[in-house]
Chains A and B, each alone.
Chain A
Amino acid sequence: MSESRITGAAGRGIPVRGDDIDTDRIIPARFLRCVSFEGLGEHAFEDDRKNFSDGIHSFDREEFQGASILVVNDNFGCGSSREHAPQSLMRWGITGIIGVSFAEIFFGNCVANGVPCLTLDSSQVDEIQGMIEGDPGCQLELDVENRSVHAGENTYPAGLPDGVQRAFLEGLWDSATLLLDASAAIDEVNARILPLQEQS
């Protein structure tokens, strides 16, 4: 299904400011009452957007429509394991994320869906957020190969774990295919650990 190499993502940026933005905020639980991920895009940040006290939430601002690179702060995606969170962002149109740090399960979910998440220092993220707020047309580029972010005239060295970089560059991020390759070795481990049996 997804045997493709991912070398980066590029497009206009959209800032969502704040630390510790959890997955309940990215996609509120009531939208998890579904058996497919379709249609989640329009509900991304729904409650935050309705109750935004500081003007209009970026996801509703005219100038950020069609943007594809999300720029966030620290510990983004903490909380629940719901893959509905990256799925809703992807379906809204996000193809790559820049942040100070990401919660582990959220990050893994993004990798599994081919969405690169690159990390920068807090001051660099602030700078980029300011840049795209001032000039929403400004192009951002995530470079997986060189582990860097280009924003306007600037290039920032960025963080991405080695394994994830390789998975993207070699098209190995579709983990199911990769894992199934080792069929005999899987059976061996299954045989050496205790089986689960119900006592009669």
Chain B
Amino acid sequence: MGKNLLQKAWEQHTVRELPTGQTQLFIGLHLIHEVTSPQAFEELRVRGLDVRYPARTFATVDHIVPTHSQERPFVDTLAEEMMVAIETNCREFGVQLFGLDDDRQGIVHVVGPEQGLTQPGMTIACGDSHTSTHGAFGAIAFGIGTSQVRDVLCSQCLAMDPLKVRRIEVTGSLAPGVYAKDVILAIIRELGVKGGTGFAYEYSGEAISSMSMEERMSICNMSIEGGARVGYVNPDETTYEYIRGRPFAPSEEDWEDAVKYWESFASDEDAEFDDEISLDGSALGPNVTWGINPGQSVQVDGQLPTVSELPEGERASASEALEFMEFEQGAPIAGTGIDVAFIGSCTNGRISDLREAAKVALGRKVSPGVKALVVPGSRLVSEQAESEGLHEVFMEAGFEWRKAGCSMCLAMNPDKLKGRELSASSSNRNFKGRQGSPLGRTLLMSPVMVAAAAIAGEVVDAREMLGD
């Protein structure tokens, strides 16, 4: 019987079985950022420990950095204090930092792949739940808490419970105007926000294998929104081509061997899975969330649910969501007016996202009264976009063109919703208060759909603006 990728990578990185019955798992790449690391370094100091393999840890700053002006010191003294802390910690413990004075700075899950650090068969951990993003490369990548950041720093290992694997096959090819974001929203709607608890998701099928690495990252990124801590795609030519030539990729001399090594991790033909489901990719349309968790979504041409028609277990949460959003049950989602449009985040702040959204923005104007932001996921994305003139397309249409960071995905920097504002967002969470105002509201959708909503001033089917 064959093995799946998770089993193979797990075995390759197993140090031993712990007395608790858990596995001591070696972590090949550790990524850190300013929010979840300071307390971990502090514990190292208290316990008199070092970083065990500093060359396997990389740091960047993303969550708290302002995207307007990134001049130091920051106006927000708490944010400034966190910047100083990560700078000091990295210097003292010998960890490489892609800080604000470095062209490689950006959102941690954009930076890792961009630098060629994220590679197939690897185990990757980061004190951030969207670490699942890196699974797009056939890595086992997952978010951890600060105590575990401490564990990886001092031992390069984690104490892990075994994971089951659910294979999710997405068949067919996606219709024009339908994107990776629509696929993952459909998967979460189907399996629920906690359906993935205890599982790693293996995404496969024609719709997935024909996707670019950036699209695969958008899918794997939101695995955690379905409760799965890990999501991955088996490595293939698309994966190797993406990595080749990047700063931390294997050299040309070592290339063939590296590819052979990576290939060996892909799930075997006869691999066994704990569960398998299949979804028809060709039947999907653009999706939009209407509620307060990422599982509450409908297709753009669909209606909000009628509570009494929902399965009993979903009713309370649907009622709570409708009340919070101030939406009518049974109403169409299209035509919902928006106040803010946000294109960015580790889900959809990459160059291909900006290119697609720019197609809609080109020659059009943001609706008066809508505040629209485009926030590149990293400085390199920003530079690339500027070299293609995308920033001008956006600015001419009335979007603000910002500097790299997490921005309005969460409420830790100056970009925030106000009051009851309703935002069309390309990010990954529509939780109450997520975007900075405790009463602020979020509709998740693809970057193209956000651009279209910015222009129309309301939720619309972006396919009408895409032309052919």
B76 lies within 8 A of A33 (CB): yes
CB under 8 Å from chain A, chain B span 188-203: 193-194, 197-198
Choice from B76, B82, B411 contacting A35 with Cβ under 8 Å: B82
Residue in chain A with minimal CB distance to B81:
A35
Most buried by B among A18, A37, A164, A178: A178
- Residue B229, interface by CB 8 Å: yes
Closest to A36 in B: B39
Whether A57 sits at the interface, judged by CB under 8 Å, is no
A113 an interface residue at 8 Å Cβ cutoff? yes
Give chain A nearest CB distance to B158 CB in angstroms.
7
Interface residue? B467 (CB, 8 A): no
Q: Roughly how many angstroms separate A47 CA and B434 CA in the complex, as a whole number?
A: 11
Give every chain B residue within 8 A of A103 (Cβ-Cβ): 194, 197, 227
The answer to whether B248 touches A108 (Cβ under 8 A) is no
A30: B residues at CB distance < 8 A? 411-412, 436
> Shortest beta-carbon distance, A44 to chain B, in Å?
14
Q: Are A186 and B47 within 8 A (Cβ)?
A: no
User: Pick the contact of B38 from A35, A185, A189 — CB < 8 Å?
Assistant: A35
- Contact partners of A11 in chain B: CB under 8 A: none
The answer to whether the Cβ of A24 comes within 8 Å of any Cβ in the partner chain is yes
Give the residues from 13 to 34 in chain A that come closer than 8 angstroms, CB to CB, to chain B.
18-20, 22, 24-25, 28-30, 32-34
Which of chain B's residues has its CB closest to A86's CB? B145
Residue tally, chain B, CB below 8 Å to A: 85
Query: Any chain A CB within 8 A of the CB of B148?
Result: yes
Task: Tell whether A190 is near chain B: CB-to-CB under 8 Å.
Answer: yes
Q: A28-B411, A81-B143, A193-B12 are in contact. Are A163 and B161 (CB under 8 A)?
A: yes
In the complex, 23 of the A-B residue pairs with CB atoms within 8 angstroms, ordered by the A residue number, are A18-B316, A32-B412, A36-B38, A51-B439, A78-B194, A81-B36, A104-B229, A170-B19, A175-B148, A176-B47, A176-B147, A176-B150, A176-B155, A185-B16, A185-B24, A186-B26, A190-B156, A192-B12, A193-B28, A194-B28, A196-B28, A196-B56, A198-B247
Q: Which of B78, B122, B320 contacts A18 (CB 8 A)?
A: B320
User: Is A109's CB within 8 Å of the partner chain B?
Assistant: yes
| Residue contact A24 to B429, C-beta cutoff 8 Å | yes
Measured in the bound complex, the distance between the Cα atoms of B77 and A34 in whole Å is 10
In the bound complex, do residue B18 and residue A178 qualify as a contact, i.e. CB atoms below 8 Å apart? yes
Residues 140-152 of B, flagged 1 when their CB comes within 8 A of A and 0 if not, give: 0001111110110
